[in-house]
Amino acid sequence: MFADPSPKAADLLQRLKAFFDQHIYPNEERYHGEMDAFRRAGDPWQTVPLIEELKPKAREAGLWNMFLPHPYEGNGGVSNLDYAPLCEVMGRVHWSSEVFNCSAPDTGNMETIERYGTPEQKKQWLVPLLAGEIRSAFLMTEPAVASSDATNIQCSIRRDGDHYVINGRKWFSSGAGSPRCRIFIVMGKTDPDAPRHAQQSMVLVPRDTPGVTVLRHLSVFGYDDAPHGHMEVLLENVRVPVDNILLGEGRGFEIAQGRLGPGRIHHCMRSIGAAERALELMCDRLRKRIAFGKPLAEQSVWHERIAESRCLIDQARLLTLNAAWKMDTVGNKVARADIAMIKVVAPNMSCKVVDWAIQAHGGGGVSQDFWLAEAYAHQRTVRLVDGPDEVHRNAIAKLELAKGL
Amino acid sequence: MFADPSPKAADLLQRLKAFFDQHIYPNEERYHGEMDAFRRAGDPWQTVPLIEELKPKAREAGLWNMFLPHPYEGNGGVSNLDYAPLCEVMGRVHWSSEVFNCSAPDTGNMETIERYGTPEQKKQWLVPLLAGEIRSAFLMTEPAVASSDATNIQCSIRRDGDHYVINGRKWFSSGAGSPRCRIFIVMGKTDPDAPRHAQQSMVLVPRDTPGVTVLRHLSVFGYDDAPHGHMEVLLENVRVPVDNILLGEGRGFEIAQGRLGPGRIHHCMRSIGAAERALELMCDRLRKRIAFGKPLAEQSVWHERIAESRCLIDQARLLTLNAAWKMDTVGNKVARADIAMIKVVAPNMSCKVVDWAIQAHGGGGVSQDFWLAEAYAHQRTVRLVDGPDEVHRNAIAKLELAKGL
Amino acid sequence: MFADPSPKAADLLQRLKAFFDQHIYPNEERYHGEMDAFRRAGDPWQTVPLIEELKPKAREAGLWNMFLPHPYEGNGGVSNLDYAPLCEVMGRVHWSSEVFNCSAPDTGNMETIERYGTPEQKKQWLVPLLAGEIRSAFLMTEPAVASSDATNIQCSIRRDGDHYVINGRKWFSSGAGSPRCRIFIVMGKTDPDAPRHAQQSMVLVPRDTPGVTVLRHLSVFGYDDAPHGHMEVLLENVRVPVDNILLGEGRGFEIAQGRLGPGRIHHCMRSIGAAERALELMCDRLRKRIAFGKPLAEQSVWHERIAESRCLIDQARLLTLNAAWKMDTVGNKVARADIAMIKVVAPNMSCKVVDWAIQAHGGGGVSQDFWLAEAYAHQRTVRLVDGPDEVHRNAIAKLELAKGL
Amino acid sequence: MFADPSPKAADLLQRLKAFFDQHIYPNEERYHGEMDAFRRAGDPWQTVPLIEELKPKAREAGLWNMFLPHPYEGNGGVSNLDYAPLCEVMGRVHWSSEVFNCSAPDTGNMETIERYGTPEQKKQWLVPLLAGEIRSAFLMTEPAVASSDATNIQCSIRRDGDHYVINGRKWFSSGAGSPRCRIFIVMGKTDPDAPRHAQQSMVLVPRDTPGVTVLRHLSVFGYDDAPHGHMEVLLENVRVPVDNILLGEGRGFEIAQGRLGPGRIHHCMRSIGAAERALELMCDRLRKRIAFGKPLAEQSVWHERIAESRCLIDQARLLTLNAAWKMDTVGNKVARADIAMIKVVAPNMSCKVVDWAIQAHGGGGVSQDFWLAEAYAHQRTVRLVDGPDEVHRNAIAKLELAKGL
């Protein structure tokens, strides 16, 4: 049931870690400096020079589009199980994924176009996305309805001759704040009278289509997550050619299901990377701070939290790797309980570990001087995106209850 | 052991609630509008017009300086037990306390000067503070040491003839960001060679004294908490007359102990008010949102969280009122375990309730569209200010362990 | 909202504590000795000599039937608020309540007959119960259905001329194991076709009526809770005169509601007494045991648990006293959320505290050498009797959700 | 990192499950019947006929002594990773391990004698133990000291010519209640003046040696765990030949360390098996019970607990299998954090899952009618045996804190 990592996975991981040591960790301060300068100048929605500078280096190092399960640029295709540990490393520095063209939601969008797009759609959108030249957003969640039940989605995609006319309001459209974001995948109803799971479709909507307005960003515990952001987007009589549909009318659910599995592995492994780093910071702080005559690291109340953190992290990692392995070997459908489980386990775990790390840092822990408060805000949000915990727990429970019958 | 509230307390509470209905709740949007305008203009560290407009109304309504335990402006003095429910109401809107001149750290600073100040100090600083004309800050915590152990405080207050020369670096100096903040109470060491609890003193330092630099604000998660803020302040060869000392050299600890009790009641009751409001928002949201065919309010998993919230809130309130009552009847010293207990219980409780409310709101819960994420950030911080949970739990445990002997 | 206890309550409490010091604590070992001897002899379902010896002393000390809200034997009637602290003391030694004729389910049964019984029923059953000469049981829960939903109760009470004929199987009939248990109150359906809340009735069934068989005891973890026990009782064509009905046909629900409130205060205060004692034992053990060079009492991980225990106990006590006060002042109906809340809070709290105490005792904690494992088993069971947590949480949540409308 | 189980492991598992279906599950009632008959007759400390009847069948089925890592009876030796899933199955029925001669503490004792015993010791004790003819106990924990710190052990093993003279009092000596238990491994101090970790030794003490008295059993939440029991044993001037020492004087710690690893894998996998079975029972009960108009299985509060149970169980299993794999590949020493982690994780997890299952069963859940209360008592005890959680968490934390240096 257990075995050493494949030579390929070990090699990729070793090279990625080396890249982090050389190019990512030493540039964390510079990244914040560039963003702070944008903010002081009144517009954080800009392309970050550091990222653009590092992308060619990553590509050169053979660390580009690793998320792709099929061969790319001489890279033989990376399985979910082999890719997962790379996500863990990228989870340690939230802006790093983009350097390797491995950031959400572009990864999911690229996979979607790759699997379901026409040759023309691929040529127009997939090629520049794979090259890291443009970015994309996925417009699904709506402010007016409980979007965790996807059948609630109200956005209208009405056929009018050779076009679809789209009307709706979307929010938490992550990535839509970037000036490089050029293409949206929009989910909405083509046929409100069809059976519940055949009403929804997905269409490609270029961002500069008339009628598209990116209204504002939604903050996450006070953070704007610029330059990508989580945006509210208004779609008013947006017209796109019928060729822009993905896979066909009424097949939106099918696509949504297909794209979720790998994305959850990525999210969860990044959560695990964040928790690992928080635990390192926690231990580091506890060793250094003296109170009441001895380092905090000698207080058994902190031993309890360190030990619990280690136990929780290692368990979440094994569960996620196991889910990845199942996806690779028996497929997303058989692995669906496993995928739901990691979606609950990993961000809850990382929230807990990061919160303990904040506590170990005292007041500083909630401030900008440490990466922890921002990490907490992000991890807490992961418990809501792609469906809140409750939806996944219900799915797990129903599969479990069905077992005995 | 239980009795109805005093007529005075009931009257004050009724009048405060009426003021909220008339002047506070209807102005919540305006407050955010004014602050947003400041932010867009690049400087949020400004006096908010709304607050200044409401202050005279509050004073006129006899809702001014209610925190004072002694008579003020014909008001006969309000006990901790009678004042506590007013704090709960004020905790529902974080900016409201200032309208009634009841906001931290000014309340604690006014009490400190009232109890320990000379007539001259009172004339110069207490009078304008009571009038709400200026504001103040309390400079204690330092970035370089674990300040939860107050003997760690390093700031130097060296006597030089008729002056003290102060050198140190303080942070989380709440309120120091406001342009109206004119006076600091600074804690530091006058005699590093004295016994551990006689090394520290407190001095009054006017903000415009040469050598004082307010360096920057510390964010709380991603919030700046402007216009008051939590500031980092550098003190370089700051000279103040020896008359600026409070109570006398080496008596800083004594003052620190004396000021803590009432402040904790205030903090905790505000936390309870925040939790109450979060529970209302949670119930409201759950009633309105439909998923999988029925309102979320019919899901028993939410019944569990609503019920737990109600149980936790009511218990925390009773514990806090009981501590207030003990402070009023047997004094802070006898009530010290009770005061430590509420400091642990109330913010942990409110973090939990607010977090559940966020979960009930889905993605919106972490955004600026609801008050919840900001409330969470604030409540999480209360678990760290005035000593982290761990310090208070140790104090409670030591008192408990001493009982059996 | 807070006040000192009434002189009467203070006096009763002081006298009860004195009685414990003189007669209860010094006899704990003797109690176990007498029960062990019964067990070794093969029959633990016997009257315990110690209890019988102490009853007259308690009566003489004016500590008899204190649970009664109305005057009794020159005792002027004790309110719920005044009686509650007495229950806390009795909760420290599980067998002590009977000494004062204050043990469940007799207290609830006596109140039921007092409130709803005919003069003849009172003469026959209430008088000897109040005198402590006989004991009683309450037969409600059934093994075949989820009895937490009382409408599920299936026991048939069919009228046949001047008699009722009763058929059913009951379990967890506490107290029915004692040879002194002479009377059962049985709940069952007199009219299965009536509206849901008018189907059930309660009748008095003398234990020696033909057709009554006490089949066996149900253990609680591995304890038999002899000599009273939790019994399974078979009722086969049991005939009782129609005069044995309480209040009237179809009024079983009404009686069930009426009897629950005070009983819950008693249960919960006993849970609090158990938790208090567990905390004392925990502190005591931690002070005495040395590991890795210092007493366990110096480990901060134990400080956390001691402090949490103290916070939880004090909160649960205040919540329960507040519920008692509300019952006394505004009545059971207005206080119904409060009563539901304590039913969830108190036993969950005591389970947690007792469990920590077990952990502090190492292996000994689960054994017969300490009172802890037995206390845990009992407290865990309180979370199920009179409705599981889930039922009470649902009730609390529904009241809360109704508030906003 | 993940792979399918080895063909050998898969085959063993399949055969063991078949044996359970044929011989274990169908005999659960008979086992309880035989034990109940012993209890009614006044002596439960007897050999159970069912077990003796099944042993030859297990041996015949090639399911005998599978715990041995080296070849035995044509069986090629089973690795920790291959053996672990077998323990999970055996954990479902607590008495089943003995049928396969795989029950604690015999497994650990056999391994100890195998690794450290002389040929003579092996001949005398290992041979009949491997044949399942006798049983053994391990006498380490003492009632007078915190035995979690093994340096506290006080039992004296004093050399006197060709003999050791042993004096001490041990408790929780599991298995010593059985009439077949013939040999004790006793830990005690041969040299109280040696360095801390060289004071202790282990000697073989035949149970019938003069001076050995098995005083009584320690109960576990009211259960006697007969016929093996957890016994208190008095050793008064017990004389054994010096040849009875294991490995040599002062090497007790070394042996203790060596024997712990595999035993923990066994304990933890059995805990996981118990949790799995509890989850099955919980789902089964929830499907069957109707309250308030629908099956409990449709309540989302139970979905939450089912989902959490599944997540916790699967994570604990992966963590334990990973620890087993590390023990097999890099050895106990490198795997020591992993072994400590599972010792904390697995029983805490199973306590939680079993407790939820009890709650789902209502009052019946704490009674003898379901296996749950007894399972809870046992799992709760696992958190204390072989060191309480706190000791293991400290060990994990110290390894973690050392990483950063």
Higher pLDDT, C124 or C6: C124
CATH of the domain at B366: 1.20.140.10
Question: Residue C1: its pLDDT value, please?
Answer: 59
Asked whether residue A147 falls in the same domain as residue A196, the answer is yes
C-alpha distances (whole Å) from C62 to each of B347, C57, C97, C108, C265 are 45, 9, 14, 20, 22
**Stretch B153-181: mean pLDDT:** 97
Structure tokens at C190: 């007199």
Residue A1 lies in a domain: no
- For B6, the closest chain C residue by CA position comes to C1
pLDDT above 90 (res C404): no
Asked if B27 and B96 count as a contact pair (C-beta separation under 8 A), the reply is no
Chosen domain end from D105, D130, D155: D130
pLDDT tier for residue B4 given thresholds of 50, 70 and 90: confident
- Burial group, residue B403, by CB count within 10 angstroms (0-12, 13-18, 19+): exposed
C394 contacts on B by Cβ (under 8 Å): 300, 303, 307
Q: Indicate the helix (H) or strand (E) that contains A236.
A: strand A230-241
- Burial group, residue B210, by CB count within 10 angstroms (0-12, 13-18, 19+): exposed
Q: CB of B405 within 8 Å of any CB in chain D?
A: no
Asked whether residue C267 falls in the same domain as residue C318, the answer is yes
Q: Indicate the helix (H) or strand (E) that contains C101.
A: none
Residue B1 lies in a domain: no
Asked if A390 and B175 count as a contact pair (C-beta separation under 8 A), the reply is no
**Stretch D280-300: mean pLDDT:** 95
Q: Which chains touch A (3 or more CB pairs under 8 A)?
A: B, C, D
B313 contacts on C by Cβ (under 8 Å): none
Asked if C183 and C207 count as a contact pair (C-beta separation under 8 A), the reply is yes
Asked whether residue A259 falls in the same domain as residue A234, the answer is no
Asked if A117 and A111 count as a contact pair (C-beta separation under 8 A), the reply is no
Chosen domain end from B250, B270, B285: B250
Q: What is the pLDDT of residues A150-164, one digit of tens each?
A: 889 999 999 999 999
C396–B311 CB contact, under 8 Å: yes
Structure tokens at A342: 């990691």
- For B360, the closest chain A residue by CA position comes to A388
Structure tokens at C49: 């000599």
CA distance A33 to A28: 9
Q: What is the pLDDT of residues A4-17, one digit of tens each?
A: 888 999 999 999 99
**Stretch C231-239: mean pLDDT:** 98
Residue B41 domain boundaries: 7-130
Residue C1 lies in a domain: no
Secondary structure string (H, E, C) spanning chain B: CECCCCHHHHHHHHHHHHHHHHHHHHHHHHHHHHHHHHHHCCCCCCCCHHHHHHHHHHHHCCCCCCCCCCCECCECCCCHHHHHHHHHHHCCCCCHHHHCCCCCCHHHHHHHHHHHCCHHHHHHHHHHHHCCCCEEEEECCCCCCCCCCHHHCCCEEEEECCEEEEEEEEEEEECCCCCCEEEEEEEEECCCCCCHHHCEEEEEEECCCCCEEEEEECCECCECCCCCCEEEEEEEEEEEEHHHECCCCCCHHHHHHHHHHHHHHHHHHHHHHHHHHHHHHHHHHHHHCEECCEEHHHCHHHHHHHHHHHHHHHHHHHHHHHHHHHHHHCCCCCCHHHHHHHHHHHHHHHHHHHHHHHHHHHHHHHCCCCCHHHHHHHHHHHCCCCCCHHHHHHHHHHHHHHHCC
Q: What is the pLDDT of residues A105-139, one digit of tens each?
A: 999 999 999 999 999 999 999 999 999 999 999 99
Asked whether residue A126 falls in the same domain as residue A158, the answer is no
Question: Residue B74: its pLDDT value, please?
Answer: 64
Asked whether residue A365 falls in the same domain as residue A226, the answer is no
A 339-378 residues inside an 8 A Cβ radius of B: 355, 358-359, 362-369, 373-374, 376-377
Closest chain D C-alpha to B397 CA, distance in angstroms: 18
Smallest Cα–Cα separation from D171: which of D226, D255, D234, D236? D234
Q: What is the pLDDT of residues A170-226, one digit of tens each?
A: 999 999 999 999 999 999 999 999 999 899 999 999 999 999 999 999 999 999 999
pLDDT above 80 (res C371): yes
Q: Which chains touch D (3 or more CB pairs under 8 A)?
A: A, B, C
pLDDT tier for residue A250 given thresholds of 50, 70 and 90: very high
Query: Amino acid identity of B90?
Result: M
Q: CB of A405 within 8 Å of any CB in chain C?
A: no
Mean pLDDT of chain C: 95
ipTM of the complex: 0.96
C 293-312 residues inside an 8 A Cβ radius of B: 297, 300, 302-304, 306-308, 310-311
Query: Amino acid identity of A182?
Result: R
pLDDT tier for residue C5 given thresholds of 50, 70 and 90: confident
Bridge partners (DSSP) of residue C2 are: B2
Query: How many percent of chain A have pLDDT more than 90?
Result: 90
pLDDT above 90 (res B25): yes
C-alpha distances (whole Å) from D143 to each of B314, C74, C280 are 43, 51, 20
Q: What is the pLDDT of residues D76-115, one digit of tens each?
A: 789 999 999 999 999 999 999 999 999 999 999 999 999 9
CATH of the domain at A55: 1.10.540.10
Residue B231 lies in a domain: yes
Question: Residue A74: its pLDDT value, please?
Answer: 64
Asked if C242 and C163 count as a contact pair (C-beta separation under 8 A), the reply is yes
Asked whether residue B222 falls in the same domain as residue B208, the answer is yes
Residue D1 lies in a domain: no
Asked whether residue D311 falls in the same domain as residue D222, the answer is no
A377–B366 CB contact, under 8 Å: yes
Lowest-pLDDT choice from B349-363, D10-24, D257-271 = D257-271
Cβ-based neighbours of A55, under 8 Å, separated by 6 or more = A98, A99, A101, A132
Cα torsion D338, D343, D348, D349 to 10°: value is: 50
Smallest Cα–Cα separation from C35: which of C219, C230, C225? C225
Closest chain C C-alpha to D341 CA, distance in angstroms: 18
CA atoms within 13 A on the CB side of A80: 26
Q: What is the pLDDT of residues C53-111, one digit of tens each?
A: 999 999 999 999 999 888 777 667 899 999 999 999 999 999 999 999 999 999 999 99
Asked whether residue C289 falls in the same domain as residue C389, the answer is yes
Asked whether residue A213 falls in the same domain as residue A270, the answer is no
pLDDT tier for residue C186 given thresholds of 50, 70 and 90: very high
Asked if B231 and B157 count as a contact pair (C-beta separation under 8 A), the reply is no
DSSP D93-152: STTHHHHTT--TTHHHHHHHHHHH--HHHIIIIIHHHHTTSSEEEEE---TTS-TTSGGG
SS3 D45: coil
Higher pLDDT, D279 or A72: D279
Q: Indicate the helix (H) or strand (E) that contains A37.
A: helix A28-40
Asked if B305 and C344 count as a contact pair (C-beta separation under 8 A), the reply is no
Query: Torsion-angle region of residue A77: left (phi > 0), alpha (psi -120 to 50) or beta?
Result: left
Chosen domain end from C111, C130, C149: C130
Smallest Cα–Cα separation from B378: which of B175, B239, B204, B225? B225
CA distance D316 to D91: 14
pLDDT above 90 (res D74): no
B219–A141 CB contact, under 8 Å: no
pLDDT above 80 (res A75): no
Q: What is the pLDDT of residues B284-341, one digit of tens each?
A: 999 999 998 899 999 999 999 999 999 999 999 999 999 999 999 999 899 999 999 9
pLDDT above 90 (res C257): no
A362–B146 CB contact, under 8 Å: yes
- For B339, the closest chain C residue by CA position comes to C311
Higher pLDDT, C256 or C244: C244
Smallest Cα–Cα separation from C370: which of D100, B351, D218? D218
Instruction: Give the count of beta carbons closer than 10 Å to the beta carbon of residue D22.
Output: 12
Question: Residue A123: its pLDDT value, please?
Answer: 97
pLDDT tier for residue D4 given thresholds of 50, 70 and 90: confident
Residue C16 lies in a domain: yes
Smallest Cα–Cα separation from B87: which of B347, B279, B268? B268
B373 contacts on A by Cβ (under 8 Å): 219-222
Question: Residue C75: its pLDDT value, please?
Answer: 67
pLDDT above 70 (res D156): yes
Question: Residue D75: its pLDDT value, please?
Answer: 67
First to last CA, chain A: 28
Query: How many percent of chain A have pLDDT more than 70?
Result: 99
Question: Residue B150: its pLDDT value, please?
Answer: 84
Q: Where do the DSSP E strands lie in C283-405?
A: 290-291, 294-295
Residue B2 lies in a domain: no
pLDDT tier for residue B77 given thresholds of 50, 70 and 90: confident
Asked whether residue D126 falls in the same domain as residue D179, the answer is no
Q: Which of D230, D366, D368 sits opposite C381 (nearest CB)?
A: D366
Question: Residue C260: its pLDDT value, please?
Answer: 76
Q: What is the pLDDT of residues C13-48, one digit of tens each?
A: 999 999 999 999 999 999 999 999 999 998 999 999
Question: Residue A1: its pLDDT value, please?
Answer: 58
**Stretch C393-399: mean pLDDT:** 97
Question: Residue D1: its pLDDT value, please?
Answer: 59
Structure tokens at C141: 């829960």
CATH of the domain at A183: 2.40.110.10
- Residue C46 DSSP class: S
Asked whether residue B113 falls in the same domain as residue B204, the answer is no
- Burial group, residue D198, by CB count within 10 angstroms (0-12, 13-18, 19+): middle
Query: Amino acid identity of A71?
Result: P
CA distance C106 to C109: 5
Q: CB of C149 within 8 Å of any CB in chain B?
A: no
C373–D221 CB contact, under 8 Å: yes
Angle ∠(D162,D165,D167) on CA atoms, nearest 5: 170
Query: Amino acid identity of C281?
Result: L
Asked whether residue D230 falls in the same domain as residue D297, the answer is no
First to last CA, chain C: 28
Asked if C232 and C218 count as a contact pair (C-beta separation under 8 A), the reply is yes
CA distance C200 to C196: 8
Cβ-based neighbours of A328, under 8 Å, separated by 6 or more = A79, A80, A81
CA distance B396 to B344: 10
Closest chain B C-alpha to A368 CA, distance in angstroms: 6
**Stretch D370-387: mean pLDDT:** 96
Q: What domain count does chain C have?
A: 3
Residue B208 lies in a domain: yes
Angle ∠(D152,D156,D157) on CA atoms, nearest 5: 125
Mean pLDDT of chain D: 95
